[in-house]
Structure 1
Amino acid sequence: MAKVPAAYQATKGSVLDVDRDFYSQLTDPSARTRIDQLTVPIRDGRAWRVPAGHVLRLSTQEGPQVGDFNLWHLHNPRERFWASRTRQLQRAHVSTFDRLWSTLPYLRPMATIIDDTLAGYGVDEEGGRVHDLLGTRCDPYVNRLLSGEDFDHHCHSNLVRAVAPFGLTEFDVHDVLNVFQCTGLNEDDQYFMKACPAREGDYFELFAEIDLLCALSCCPGGDLSVDLWGPNARDPLTTCHPIGVEVFKLDDDLLQGWQQPEYVPYRGGHGMRGPDIDWRAEKARRFG
């Protein structure tokens, strides 16, 4: 079958044209200092800050585990991760040198993936790939539909609890990046999930392009080796493991010439009558 070209393609010098040499140097362990560390417990969530120009590492501490990851602009949570546009601009399963994009009307890279120990997983015999943008977080509403039971530790609920101390609510929790999760589409074009291929010590690293508020849920499905719904469903508690979080400050000389990405420079008012407002300047005035 002939390979069909991507709809959204990078041109040289565009924001989609990632400087791989620059981002590759950021993985040097001797050129960074850890400034924060925490553990996301099983079937729970945590939220934390990552300053612009810093590196975030998520790691499987004790064994395979899927994590549901959300991020927001720290100073303006209306700007948040846009999973579907990231899926179009990058790919449905992301890895090194892919970027995580923010919502309209901002549309800029929030973070760039710089390292991934599962990058070599590729595509398995069933079409599965890792670090999934095809699906979204599990939630108690769908669970009620499928099982008739209430359960308060789905990823949606874990994220709601995690961001509450930062002044956010359920309405701020949004579609996620499923880190370490292996998924695909079957021959009937239906979403499937497979057992997580990560092992203890695997990690996924992001470079923060802007000041971020991040949140992660340790999925109650653990490594997803057990069916969560259907005739073979059972409690996957024994497959659950914590996920480690580390934040690193990079040596200043590594960031020479780097600048935080600007908002997309669309200035129009969507064809509506009214004053000629410079929306780019207005966003900068309001949110910095």
Structure 2
Amino acid sequence: MDRIINDNKKNSTVMVTASGTYISSAHCDTAASRLSVLLAAKDICEVMSSLGWCGRGDKPREFPRNPPVICYDSPPAARVNHIHYDNLRLKALMGKRVVELTVPKKSAATWEMKEGDLCRITVIEGSQVADVNFWNLQNKQERFYSGKTRQLHATHLTVYDRLWSNLPYLRPMATVVADSLKNYGIDEDGASVHDVIGTRCDDYTYKLITGKERYGSCHTYLTEAVKKVGLTEQDVHDVWNIFMCTGFTKETHQYFTKSSPARKGDYIEFIADMDLLVAMSTCPQGDVSIPVGKPVPDENCHPLGVEVFQAIDETEAGEVSKETASSKPQTKEFNEQGHSQLSVASFPEN
């Protein structure tokens, strides 16, 4: 810690820095000139604090340490019936697969979901994070609101948490029903997975940090993917970062990332609470073990798998049973239905 020593006999002020450096204003005639030496070496706020001045008298201010209060007590709509959603999940998985696609590394895709459909996103090769956007399929003005989702649930989402739409709608868009990483919990650094903190990587911030132009980010990939379904860059919004391990430093509260704990076979599932358009990018930061602005080896990036399952009603279930008994294949029909609902945007290697 820096120390400031006043020597009235020698009319000098000496500052001893934390590194042991001595800075003297010996033989200065005025307090102002002595202060100027200090200001040359230290930030104004640090100087004032060192001199015991805080703007409220001549004593350092003492702040009360009040207990934390949960700002948003979860409303009933945020507390779902676990059994109900477990049953919805089971029915969907026992139904038909209507979408099956692989989102290549450093790219993005869109797909549609009907209310009640289940989406499973899977790590199919190596550790990889993704950024996800949601829109109401019938009204694209209603879209995912990560900030309000964070307030109603937490900084990181897991099973039975919900994804909420923007104002003035404020409705649940989807509910998480399965998460292979749920037992990661909150680690010793305060980090967890599947955050609703980070906004998405983008080329604008990359230039701000590095001073260099770049084309290739989650924002870019999402923008190019949604253009194919009639949306624009302005429709891309703050994301849900799945498989991403993040938190805030305890000392400075800065946003940090860790290498994702997700491995081949890990997955997260959510059920649509309304008809949805979904967009997902495979982040060019890969497992996000390297900070933005630093080179990321291509082998750090991987594709992700997407599947959408749809429950079938009793009438359709009976028809499927009859067709199965007569050995009529179903795969071709379902794949055609699924792939007619998706759009994939791929980009050249950086």
Instruction: State whether structure 2 residue 93 is matched by structure 1 residue 25.
Output: no
Pair 1:156 & 2:223 matched: no
Identify the match of residue 78 of structure 1 among 117, 136, 141.
Answer: 141
Displacement after TM superposition at 1:6 (Å)? 2.3
Task: Give the aligned partner of residue 116 of structure 2.
Answer: 53
**RMSD between aligned residues:** 1.7
CA drift at 1:149: 1.9
Structure 2 counterpart of 1:160, which letter? T
Aligned to 2:283: 219
Indicate whether 1:10 and 2:67 are aligned: no
| Structure with the greater alpha carbon radius of gyration | 2
Structure 2 CA distance, aligned partners of 1:5 and 1:250?
41
CA contact (8 A) 1:221 1:237 kept: no
CA distance in 2, matches of 1:81, 1:50: 15
Number of the residue aligned with 1:208:
272
2:308 pairs with 217, 232, 247, which one? 247
User: Structure 2 matches for 1:123-138, cutoff 5 A?
Assistant: 123-138=186-201
% same residue: 46
Q: How far did residue 202 of structure 1 move?
A: 0.6
Deviation at 1:237, TM superposition (A): 1.7
Measure, in 2, the Cα distance between the counterparts of 1:227 and 1:175. Answer: 19
The answer to whether the Cα contact below 8 Å between 1:133 and 1:176 also exists between their aligned partners in 2 is yes
TM-score after normalising by structure 2:
0.68
Residue deviations 1:126-149 (CA, integer Å, cap 9, x gap): 211000111110000000111122
Q: C-alpha distance in 2, partners of 1:118/1:236?
A: 25
Q: Do the aligned partners of 1:60 and 1:199 also contact (CA within 8 Å) in 2?
A: yes
Indicate if the aligned counterparts of 2:130 and 2:243 stay in contact, CA closer than 8 A: yes
Given that 2:247 and 2:255 are in contact with CA atoms closer than 8 Å, whether structure 1 keeps it comes out as yes
The TM-score normalised by the length of structure 1 is 0.82
The amino acid of 1:19's aligned partner reads N
Does structure 1 conserve the Cα–Cα contact (< 8 Å) formed by 2:88 and 2:116?
Answer: no
Deviation at 1:228? 2.9
Greater relative contact order, per chain length (Cα 8 Å cut-off, separation 6+) = 1
Contact kept? 2:121, 2:307, Cα under 8 Å: yes
Matched pairs, number = 248
Pick the structure with more helix per residue: 2
Secondary structure (helix, strand or coil) at the match of 2:109 reads strand
**Where do 5+ consecutive residues of structure 2 fail to align?**
1-64, 315-350
Aligned partner letter, 2:108: G
Using the TM superposition, give the Cα deviation of residue 30 of structure 1 relative to its aligned residue in structure 2, in angstroms: 5.5
Query: In the alignment, which residue of structure 1 is the partner of 2:261?
Result: 197
**1:165 counterpart residue number:** 228
What amino acid is the match of 2:80?
A: V
| Kept after mapping to 1: 8 A contact 2:93/2:310 | no
- The one of 99, 120, 125 aligned to 2:162: 99
Shift of 1:22: 0.7
Q: Could you give the per-residue CA deviations for residues 149-194 of structure 1, whole angstroms, max 9, x where no partner exists?
A: 2222100000000101111000000000000000000020100011
Measure the CA separation in 2 of the matches of 1:106 and 1:62. Answer: 38
